[in-house]
Structure formats: structure tokens, C-alpha cells
Structure 1
Amino acid sequence: MAIPHTTPGQLIDVRPFGLRLQSEKTTALFKSEQLEVIRLVLQAGKSLPPHSVAGEITIQCIEGRINVTVSSQSHLLEAGEMLFLARSASHGVVAIEDSSALVTIVLSK
């Protein structure tokens, strides 16, 4: 079954989940030919192991705090902060506290 994505022109709510955060899951918001946007949700202590993607990435912390490691350099992101990663940069993410972030990936052809 295909994951339902937002269609062009459809409103997407990316405000903090607040008290609902603990029950929310990571969701792909939309994917086009050149761009994918994901709402990443991680509970405190949970992580994404080091990985890379072919395109450039932004990670914008919406709520909570996450630690993003890029090439053994650590970046602590708090709500309202964004990190830009070069294409193919190996990176991992650890939630310091319950967190959500907006991840944007430029898709390479």
C-alpha cells in the first residue's frame, strides 16, 4: 500500500505536537520529483543510526532537542534551529528529549 502524501496546494500543519508528541510517529509529508519532506518524531534516547542520502538535507527542530552527528562532529539542535547537510554526508540523529523535526531532502536524479 502506498503512503498517502500531501498534494500540491494542500495545507500542511507543522506546528509543535505538544502533549500529543509521545503518541505521534514519523511521517512522510510529501514527495515530488525533486524534493521530499518528512516529519521526524523521536522519543528521548531513540536514534537514527549513521546513514547518508544522495541529496542535500535540512533538519529543522520543531520541538525538543536532537543531537545530529555529521562526520564525527556533533550539533545540538533545539526548537527553531536548522542544520544544512551536504549531499551524501553521513549523519546520525539522537533525541535528547522527545522531539520532532522537519527533514527536507533534495532528491538527485
Structure 2
Amino acid sequence: MALHHAASGEIVNIRPLGKELQQSISVTLVKTDQLQVFRYILLKGEEFAEHKVRGEITIQCLEGVVEHISPGRKQVLHAGEFVYLAGDDLHALKGIEDASVLVTIVSNRN
């Protein structure tokens, strides 16, 4: 079965999951040639290993607390905060509390 991705003009719920957070899975909400938006679930103690992406990225904490790790820097993101990363910036995430983040990647693939 193909995963549903939002169509142009479709409203997508990104509200905090609350009590459903621990049973939820990460999902891609939008995927086009130049844009990808996904909700990533990161439970307390889990890590999203260091990696880099070609495109520019924003990581917005929707709920909980995550640690954003990049070379020489550690930052804590709380609900309602986001961080911008230029393309090819190394980064990793770690769940400080159960959390969900909204990740947006914009690429110039032509």
C-alpha cells in the first residue's frame, strides 16, 4: 500500500500527539522533487545518528525536548522552537524527553 502524501492545498494536522506520542511512528507528510516534510518521532534516549542532507533544512520541535548536535555545538530545542541548517551541515538529534519534530528539507534538484 502506498503511503499518503499531502496534495496541494490539503490541510495536514501537525498538532502535538500528546498521549499518542509513544505509539506513533515517523511519517512523511509531503514529498516532491524539491520539498520533503516529515514528522519524526524521537522517544527519550533515542538518537537520530549524525548525517547530512544536500538541501537546506528546518527542524521544528512540536512537542517534548530534543538535543540538536552539530560539530562543536549542542543545543536543546523545546516545543515551539526550530533550527535552520544549511545544506550538507552535519547534525544529529537525541530525545531528551519523548518528542516529535517537523523536518522540512528544500533541495535544488533540477
TM range (shorter): over 0.9
Runs of 5+ unmatched residues, structure 1: none
Shift of 1:72: 2.7
TM-score, scaled relative to structure 1: 0.95
Q: For residue 31 of structure 2, what is the amino acid of its counterpart? A: K
Q: What SS is found at the alignment partner of 2:3?
A: coil
Q: What SS is found at the alignment partner of 2:69?
A: strand
Q: For residue 54 of structure 2, what is the amino acid of its counterpart? A: A
Matches within 5 A, 1:67-86: 67-86=67-86
Which string of whole-angstrom CA distances, capped at 9 and with x for unpartnered residues, describes residues 84-104 of structure 1? 001100000000010001000
2:7 aligns to what? 7
Shift of 1:71: 1.6
User: Which contiguous aligned blocks of 4+ residues in structure 1 show a shift greater than 6 angstroms?
Assistant: none
Distance 2:55 2:80 in 1: 23
1:44 aligns to what? 44
Identity %: 40
Q: How many residues align?
A: 109
TM-score, scaled relative to structure 2: 0.94
Q: What SS is found at the alignment partner of 1:20?
A: helix
Shift of 1:107: 1.9
Distance 2:30 2:55 in 1: 16
